[in-house]
Amino acid sequence: MELEYIQGKKISIRKHYDEKWLQNRIEENPEILGLGELDLIERERKQSSGGKIDFLFLKSAIQTMYEVEIQLGSTDPSHIIRAIEYWDIESRRFPSKEHKAVLIAEDINNRFFNVISLMSRSIPIIAIQVSAIQIENKILLNFTKVLDTFEVPEDEEKLAGEQVSRPYWEKKCHKESIRILDESIELSKTFYAIPRITYNKHHIALGTERQNYMWFHPRKSARIHFEIKVDIEDIELLISQLEELDMSVSQRKQDLLSVSISAKEFDKHKNEFMPIISNAIDMFK
């Protein structure tokens, strides 16, 4: 079917709305930023410096936190300074996570783009330009990433958030993602009969009576992301084994593996996960 062409008109968000309006639109659907599936940690989070960060997001799939600062109109030095300051504060609060400062503005001119680009060599900064298009009596928001050059992997043992019930995750995620979770828990019972399962807002933890060893992040698609603690001496061998199966695997810390897997991949290779789960449980029995 041929799509109908409708002419739109670019308008200034600043002239028609305030910053709170734009915050509301982002909170309703954080994925409009183009940064993937994000969990909201806090909006207008108070900082020790006295200011408030517009948004603190967590991307559970890669355990990255985003410190988001919004500026209606054009970006300016104070906008850049605030974003970096808040990024620094949150980085020190959660020192083992990856953190990225995110600047959002209607206009990022060449002068400040060059400044941000230079700073991104040592500070992870993402610059996003937002525009508003009026189509008849409706408004379309478009977020365009204009800079994202800093890539350094790093991790920690999870920011949990408050405890929730299982229905919270069942409502939020794809049923196949939940099935992978359930079958992984059943696999763990081969080595530890009564596992401890904790449903938190930002992950589901699996552990023994002594300690958690596995953290699941069910997704809205038919796949799941998880991290698992393993013996440091065995980690290279385990990575090699998973890579031979074409699994998406990376080493987050000396003793932490990060894996992303689809339902189809899990069904095909679930038996290959048995030695990894056994390795993890043996350390904490």
pLDDT digits (tens, 9 = 90+) for 223-243: 998 888 888 778 788 888 888
Judge whether residue 158 has pLDDT over 70: no
Higher local confidence (pLDDT), 188 or 280: 188
Asked if the model's pLDDT at residue 153 lies above 50, the reply is: no
**65 touches 58 (CB < 8 A):** yes
pLDDT at 155 over 50: no
The pLDDT assigned to 157 comes to 45
User: Is the Cβ–Cβ distance between 82 and 68 less than 8 Å?
Assistant: no
In angstroms, the CA 186 to CA 192 distance is 10
pLDDT of residue 29: 93
Angle of the 235-244 helix axis to the 274-284 helix axis, nearest 10: 160
The more confidently predicted of residues 34 and 157 is: 34
Domains and CATH numbers, the chain: 9-148 (3.40.1350.10), 166-284 (3.90.1150.20)
Higher pLDDT, 88 or 61: 88
Q: How confident is the model at residue 184 (pLDDT cuts 50, 70, 90)?
A: very high
**53 CB contacts (<8 Å, ≥6 apart)?**
44, 45, 47, 67, 68, 69, 86, 90
CB 103 within 8 A of CB 128: yes
The helix/strand/coil state of 29 is coil
Q: Which amino acid is at 13?
A: I
Please check the confidence at residue 36 and state whether its pLDDT lies above 80. yes
The sheet that has 196-199: what strands, in order across it?
196-199, 204-207, 212-218, 223-229, 256-262, 248-253
Q: What pLDDT shows up at residue 211?
A: 86
Does this model's pTM top 0.75? My answer is no
Instruction: Determine how many CB atoms are found less than 10 A away from the CB of residue 81.
Output: 11
Percent of the chain with pLDDT over 70: 94
CA 182 – CA 238 distance, rounded (Å)? 22
3-state secondary structure of 239: helix
* The predicted structure's pLDDT at residue 101: 92
Which of the 8 DSSP states describes residue 35?
S
Residue 151 has pLDDT above 70, yes or no: no
